[in-house]
């Protein structure tokens, strides 16, 4: 199935060349999306035997959805949205000698970024649609929290040890310039290529709190709190490692 899809992608342009030659004169936008149309774009990656379709990513590498709107024949505005929620939980049970050990761990963090941009399109053919694009990006990274509860049960009862960590989130800022093209196989459906370079500034961390609680079978329960602060600043100038293959549909 994947090989068939790739065959269509590579050989259909040659099959439609003769038709394009005549249509370009009479209908210059026979296949290209029209002003006022909305579009959704995703990425594809891999080679012939390993083709994958995936969401586009923001500058932090998080999955995003890219929407496009055709203002006119030469200008397209676009917006990428990347909501991310990480919610992990792991449970394990084991035995150490005659003791039963249960371990319950959790981790949570949410983030969100939006990437407004504008594309400037040039005259191509009735299928080929080249452009340059400029994107900005701003994102918020939520507070990170993690916890682990260890319960040890023996013949005398159950001892519980709990560890909780919370750390401040951060934010990201960035900008990117791209060159690209869309090739419309049918009206409003296009495959494309996009390549770019950009810069991003990422700030993470801050105040951190770690709480250790101990509730033994015998003895007095105790709690210990440790406070610290770590701030990470990261600025990077980058280029895309590979050309992005895009799939777009307009409606």
Percent of the chain with pLDDT strictly greater than 70: 81
- Please choose, from the candidates 122, 140, 248, 136, the residue with its C-alpha nearest in 3D space to the C-alpha of residue 198: 136
| DSSP annotation string for 99-168 | EEEEEEEEEEEEEEEEEEEEEEE----SSEEEEEEEEEEEEEEPPEEEEEEEEEEETTEEEEEEEEEEE-
| DSSP annotation string for 50-106 | S-EEE-EE-TTS-EEEEEEEESSSSEEEEEEEEEEEEEEEEEEEEEETTEEEEEEEE
Residue 239 DSSP one-character state: E
Partner residues linked to 139 by β-bridges: 113, 172
Task: Return d(Cα 45, Cα 39) in angstroms, integer.
Answer: 20
- Three-state DSSP class for residue 15: helix
User: Torsions phi, psi of 8, nearest 5?
Assistant: -60, -45
Cα angle 195, 69, 176; round to 5: 30
- Three-state DSSP class for residue 220: coil
- Give the per-residue pLDDT at 49: 47
Residue 207 DSSP one-character state: E
Q: How many CA atoms lie within 13 A of 129 on its CB side?
A: 29
- Please choose, from the candidates 218, 212, 191, 48, the residue with its C-alpha nearest in 3D space to the C-alpha of residue 128: 191
- Give the per-residue pLDDT at 26: 55
Task: Return d(Cα 198, Cα 47) in angstroms, integer.
Answer: 26
- Give the per-residue pLDDT at 240: 85
Q: What is the mean pLDDT of each run of 10 residues along the chain (251 residues)?
A: 45 45 57 93 61 59 84 94 89 85 93 93 91 94 93 90 94 94 94 92 91 90 91 90 87 91
- Give the per-residue pLDDT at 6: 44
Model confidence pLDDT, tens digit, residues 111-124: 999 999 999 999 88
Q: What is the CA radius of gyration of the chain?
A: 26
Alpha-carbon dihedral sign for residues 134, 79, 64, 123:
negative
């Amino acid at each position: 199935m994947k090989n068939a899809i790739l065959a269509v992608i590579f050989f259909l342009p040659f099959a439609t060349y003769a038709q394009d030659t005549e249509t370009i004169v009479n209908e210059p936008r026979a296949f290209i999306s029209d002003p006022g149309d909305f579009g959704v774009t995703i990425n594809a990656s891999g080679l012939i035997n390993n083709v994958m379709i995936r969401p586009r990513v923001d500058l932090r590498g998080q999955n995003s959805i890219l929407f496009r709107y055709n203002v006119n024949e030469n200008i397209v505005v676009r917006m990428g949205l990347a909501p991310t929620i990480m919610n992990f939980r792991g449970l394990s049970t084991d035995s150490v000698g005659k003791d039963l050990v249960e371990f319950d761990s959790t981790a949570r963090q949410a983030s969100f970024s939006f990437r407004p941009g504008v594309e400037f399109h040039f005259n191509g053919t009735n299928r080929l649609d080249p452009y340059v694009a400029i994107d900005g990006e701003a994102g918020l990274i939520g507070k990170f929290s993690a916890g682990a509860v260890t319960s040890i049960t023996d013949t005398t009862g159950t001892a519980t040890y709990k560890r909780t960590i919370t750390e401040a989130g951060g934010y990201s800022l960035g900008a990117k310039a791209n060159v690209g093209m869309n090739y419309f196989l049918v009206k409003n459906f296009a495959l494309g290529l996009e390549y770019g370079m950009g810069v991003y500034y990422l700030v993470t961390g801050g105040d951190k709190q770690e709480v250790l609680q101990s509730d033994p079978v015998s003895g007095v329960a105790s709690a210990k709190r440790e406070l610290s602060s770590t701030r990470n600043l990261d600025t990077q100038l980058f280029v895309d490692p590979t050309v992005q293959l895009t799939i777009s549909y307009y409606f």
